[in-house]
């Protein structure tokens, strides 16, 4: 799962600043053929109050066949359900591929399911993986996941057909989606066991203590910062505290801007953490954490679409050479 974070700070939903305790997840689809996840930022990062957009709407994330873009904090009250589910549910949209049109609101005209099967499966898988991550973070399970049309039947969302106007064309429905999430939750050896030196992580929302039997994690440590792992072993052996394998968090990374500063220097159980792939900065740039074997050319090719754009990364980050190192956080141009 390739997750990027770039908050829609101009959207009135974001500036309203209302928080929720997530109790469920609502799955939507865009009904806008061919517009992919990264493109929604420029469409919706606008103010209705200022007359920049004609809709009061904002979801937490968009998913397509290649990546996921998070546009609201997960615990931020979104404007996606048109009903009470805004107060309880994280909402995300699955982007629909190009090559067809709509009539009568929810009727897909010219949609070739066989041709779009590859796209659908990849987007489906990203949606499943996002739900798995959110379930782990907020202590949810597959039964806490509904789509917009199910929300309407429950009386907590407006009258929309998604995603049941689309999923059946590929032999799927929300029951099979929930089953896929359940299987992924059961089969996943917790991905947090893969946490290593240089990874940027954050605490799961449900975490109370650093490890079983330790002191309580202060609210500011969870809410204000991501953290950089600086150590995984002590004298060549894993560190076990409270019966749990731990890593040392030696750097703090401000969630508002990405500045990296001295850390809490505390051993924390791996199972209490999730890896963060990217963060927003104060100028709205997304970021990329350098991995072993990366080069500027390779990063530009992978993240910007063309390796020849690597000088833009150098300029944005004030680099005087092509040398980069694992764990380094680079700002990426639009």
CATH, residue 53: 3.40.80.10
User: Are residue 43 and residue 165 in the same domain, yes or no?
Assistant: yes
User: Are residue 140 and residue 228 in the same domain, yes or no?
Assistant: no
pLDDT tens for the 334 residues of the chain, in order:
778 888 899 999 999 999 999 999 999 999 999 999 999 999 999 999 999 999 999 999 999 999 999 999 899 999 999 999 999 999 999 999 999 999 988 899 999 999 999 999 999 999 999 999 899 888 899 999 999 999 999 999 999 999 999 999 999 999 999 999 999 988 865 545 578 888 889 998 889 999 999 999 999 999 889 999 999 999 888 899 999 999 999 999 887 667 788 999 999 999 999 888 665 544 556 778 888 888 999 898 888 878 888 998 998 888 888 889 887 888 888 6
pLDDT at 282: 46
pLDDT at 224: 87
User: Are residue 17 and residue 128 in the same domain, yes or no?
Assistant: yes
* Number of domains within the chain: 3
User: Are residue 161 and residue 61 in the same domain, yes or no?
Assistant: yes
Contacts by 166-172 with C-beta closer than 8 Å and gap 24+? 166/29, 166/96, 166/108, 169/108, 169/111, 169/113, 170/113, 170/117, 170/120, 170/121, 170/124, 172/124
20, part of any domain: yes
The residue from 121, 154, 188 where one domain ends is 188
Backbone dihedral region for residue 147 (phi beyond 0: left; psi -120 to 50: alpha; all else: beta) = beta
Q: Report which DSSP code applies to 87.
A: G
- State the Cα–Cα distance between residues 318 and 331, nearest whole angstrom: 10
282, part of any domain: no
- State the Cα–Cα distance between residues 29 and 134, nearest whole angstrom: 18
User: Are residue 96 and residue 26 in the same domain, yes or no?
Assistant: yes
pLDDT at 254: 83
User: Are residue 130 and residue 255 in the same domain, yes or no?
Assistant: no
Domain that holds residue 70: 2-188
193, part of any domain: no
The residue from 233, 250, 275 where one domain ends is 275
User: Are residue 21 and residue 110 in the same domain, yes or no?
Assistant: yes
Pick the closest to residue 313 from 328, 282, 161 (CA basis).
Answer: 328
User: Are residue 243 and residue 114 in the same domain, yes or no?
Assistant: no
User: Are residue 165 and residue 222 in the same domain, yes or no?
Assistant: no
User: Are residue 212 and residue 300 in the same domain, yes or no?
Assistant: no
User: Are residue 171 and residue 26 in the same domain, yes or no?
Assistant: yes
User: Are residue 38 and residue 165 in the same domain, yes or no?
Assistant: yes
Q: Report which DSSP code applies to 209.
A: B
The residue from 188, 220, 248 where one domain ends is 188
194, part of any domain: no
């Amino acid at each position: 799962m390739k997750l990027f974070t770039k908050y829609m700070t101009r959207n009135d939903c974001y500036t309203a600043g209302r928080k929720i305790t997530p109790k469920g997840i609502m799955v939507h689809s865009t009904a806008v053929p061919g517009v992919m996840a990264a493109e929604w930022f420029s469409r919706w990062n606008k103010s209705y109050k200022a007359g920049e957009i004609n809709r009061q709407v904002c979801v937490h994330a968009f998913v397509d066949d290649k990546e996921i873009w998070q546009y609201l904090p997960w615990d931020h009250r979104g404007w996606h359900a048109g009903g009470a589910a805004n107060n309880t549910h994280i909402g995300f949209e699955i982007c629909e591929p190009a090559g067809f049109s709509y009539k009568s609101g929810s009727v897909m005209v010219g949609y070739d399911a066989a041709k779009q099967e590859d796209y659908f499966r990849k987007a489906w898988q990203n949606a499943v993986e996002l739900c798995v991550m959110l379930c782990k973070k907020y202590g949810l399970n597959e039964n806490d996941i509904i789509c917009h049309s199910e929300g309407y039947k429950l009386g907590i969302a407006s009258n929309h057909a998604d995603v049941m106007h689309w999923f059946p064309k590929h032999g799927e429905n929300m029951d099979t989606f929930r089953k896929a999430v359940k299987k992924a939750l059961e089969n996943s050896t917790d991905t947090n066991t893969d946490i290593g030196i240089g990874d940027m992580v954050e605490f799961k929302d449900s975490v109370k203590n650093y490890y079983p039997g330790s002191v309580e994690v202060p609210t500011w440590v969870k809410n204000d910062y991501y953290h950089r792992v600086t150590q995984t072993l002590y004298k060549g052996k894993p560190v076990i505290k409270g019966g749990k394998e731990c890593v040392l968090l030696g750097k703090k990374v401000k969630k508002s801007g990405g500045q990296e500063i001295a850390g809490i220097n505390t051993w924390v159980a791996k199972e209490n953490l999730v890896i963060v792939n990217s963060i927003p900065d104060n100028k709205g740039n997304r970021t990329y954490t350098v991995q072993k074997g990366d080069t500027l050319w390779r990063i530009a090719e992978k993240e910007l679409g063309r390796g020849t754009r690597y000088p833009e990364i150098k300029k944005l980050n004030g680099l005087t050479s092509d040398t980069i190192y694992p764990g380094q956080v680079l700002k990426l141009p639009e």
